[in-house]
Structure 1
Amino acid sequence: MEGAVAVLTMQYPPHNLFDLALTRAVIDALAWARGQGARAVVLNSAMRHFSAGADLKAIENGLGEDGGQLLLELLGAFREHPAPIIASVHGVCVGGGLEIALACDFVIAAESSKLGCVEPIVGLHPLMGAIQRISQRAGELRAKEMAMFGRRFDAQTLERWNIINRVVPDARLASATMVLARELAAGPTVAHAATKKLAAVAASQGVEAADKAMLEIQKAVFASRDFANAVASYRERGPGFAMFEGR
């Protein structure tokens, strides 16, 4: 924990290859962050690369029903986590590594990083949600281009395609990530959680479904102490002075 920010750092030699063990470790780490009351989460890597994808041995052995369910559990852990999650990407971020980054709420990448869906080189397509998430963000054409050609792209290209949020100089990646994380952690946590839920409904079910879900999702926001205190602060001092507790 760095203040209210949980920093989850992958360090699984040689290249943070996702197998069942690393998948379970990430799920457990998100649960730990939730238990700590983290108001923002950073997922980064202590290795040379963010992640070179999935462990081929694990795939060759067959994911099986249990492995497939674990992957769905992993994606659900990111989706259901109440705090905003930032992927801080450097080096290579491909295959399953890219899919983990895309499961986060924000992706900030170093200028020199290379990202892509490289599964075609081993006769696969993305197995952990990249196709649908890229389709949501950049459209069907870009999703098929990335999934079928299997190329690595520079971070600037994926920022331009609206697949990642921000590109920063390599030397500023850690500091820029923490600036965003601390800003999120200092904000109205209950409202951020509601934003995640509503955006997920809109992305998966459409705007009409989100409109119908909106009032129920917003009940927690209106009932929060942060909303009451911020309104009182606004009336007493004007905008920009509210301090949020995350409740």
Structure 2
Amino acid sequence: MSEVTFERIDDVAVVTLANPPANTYTAELGDGLLGSVRKAVDEGVRAMVVQAHGPLFSGGADVSMFQDRSGAEARALFAEAFEPIAALEDAPFPVIAAVHGQCLAAGLELALACDLIVAAEGTQFSQTEAKIGATTFLGGVDRLAQRCGPARAKEIVFDAGFHDAATFERWNIVNRVVPADELRDAALTWAQKLAGGPTAAHAVTKQLVQHTLAHGARETDSYLLDVATPLFDTRDMQHAVNLLLTQGVRQFMANHHEVVFAGR
């Protein structure tokens, strides 16, 4: 039975996915994830970690969902399945995926919807959909192309082969690779650092990246005037600017970790 648990550690939400034995992705798991993101937004958390219970992050989607379905039925299924993907990308705080073991197909698409990916050494990644005569249905090839370029994304999806964490880091898909026994601590420490930062600014950064991927840099320059300049009205920015002017650049940069951001 699939389960999604929500834990709050200070200003960080830790969301754990569980659907033994292979943590296959189901509609129920997606609903639980969507509910957890909404809960995190409602509670005003400042960063999130998405992890999985058991020996692997995800073996992909439960393929029984695909059996004897028509194209029209599949369209309705995946239209709903995109809701948690969009929720992760639109969350007004940084989201880190902490992946281990295997991260396959829908599981990889879920990780790609997160802002950052930390992988345990030895993790194996694959978009396996071509093996069942399909393509990536939850935006996998799209988001791979954003991270590693179109040619490499097509290679990953066409071949449906396995790639280790070090390779995915080299291809700019994974941000960091850490020893397996340090995965949770590494992801949580990074999330706590981000949570202590200017989350109002981080939320705008997410919006700017999404906008430029859809519309290009020149249109995003105009969009920036709408979404980024209001940061001048936040306590975060004014507090940091005043510290910079008071301390000088060198001292401020040396002590920047001491700046306390309020996120508004």
Return the TM-score normalized by structure 1: 0.96
| Alpha-carbon distance in 2 for matches of 1:166, 1:61 | 40
Q: Shift in Å at residue 171 of structure 1?
A: 1.5
Q: Distance in 2 between matches of 1:26 and 1:49?
A: 17
Which residue in the other structure is 1:144 paired with? Answer: 154
- 1:80 pairs with 90, 95, 118, which one? 90
Q: Tell me what 2:262 maps to.
A: 245
How many residues align? The count is: 247
Give, in whole Å, the separation in 2 of the partners of 1:151 and 1:236: 55
Asked whether the 8 Å contact 1:92–1:113 carries over to 2, the reply is yes
| 2:102 aligns with one of 76, 92, 96 | 92
RMSD over equivalenced CA pairs, Å = 1.3
Please state how far the C-alpha of 1:145 moved relative to its aligned partner: 0.9
Q: Which runs of 4+ in 1 moved over 4 A?
A: none
Contact 1:188–1:245, Cα closer than 8 Å, also in 2: yes
- Counterpart of 1:106 in structure 2 is 116
Distance 2:224 2:137 in 1: 31
Structure 1 residue 70: Cα displacement = 1.2
- Asked whether the 8 Å contact 1:42–1:86 carries over to 2, the reply is yes
Structure 2 residue aligned with 1:32: 39
1:30 & 1:15 partners in 2: Cα distance?
Answer: 23
What are the Cα deviations for residues 47-96 of structure 1, in whole angstroms up to 9, with x where unaligned?
Answer: 21101110101122535444222122222111211010000000010000
Correspondence for 2:23: 16
Query: What secondary structure sits across from 1:109 in the alignment?
Result: strand
CA shift, 1:230, in A, is 1.4
Q: Tell which deviates more after alignment, 53-62 or 93-102.
A: 53-62
- The Cα of 1:236 is off from its aligned counterpart by 2.9
Q: Distance in 1 between matches of 2:53 and 2:247?
A: 44
**How is 1:32-181 mapped onto 2 (pairs within 5 angstroms)?**
32-60=39-67, 62=69, 63-181=73-191
Q: Which moved more, 1:117-126 or 1:104-113?
A: 117-126
Deviations 1:91-145 (A, max 9, x none): 0100000000000000010011001101112111111111111112211211111
Q: What is the distance in 1 between the residues matched to 2:230 and 2:17?
A: 33
Q: Is the 8 A contact 1:23 1:70 kept in 2?
A: no
Partner of 2:9: helix, strand, or coil? coil
| Amino acid paired to 1:94 | L
Contact 2:78 2:137 in 1 (8 A): no
Higher mean C-alpha deviation, range 97-106 or range 125-134: 125-134
**Using the alignment, how far apart are the partners of 1:79 and 1:162 within structure 2?**
18
- The one-letter code sitting in structure 2 at the alignment partner of 1:27 is L
Identity percentage over the alignment?
36
CA contact under 8 A between 1:84 and 1:193: conserved in structure 2? yes
Picking from 190, 215, 225, the partner of 2:235 is 225
Once the 2 structures are TM-superposed, how far is the Cα of residue 18 of structure 1 from its aligned partner? 1.2
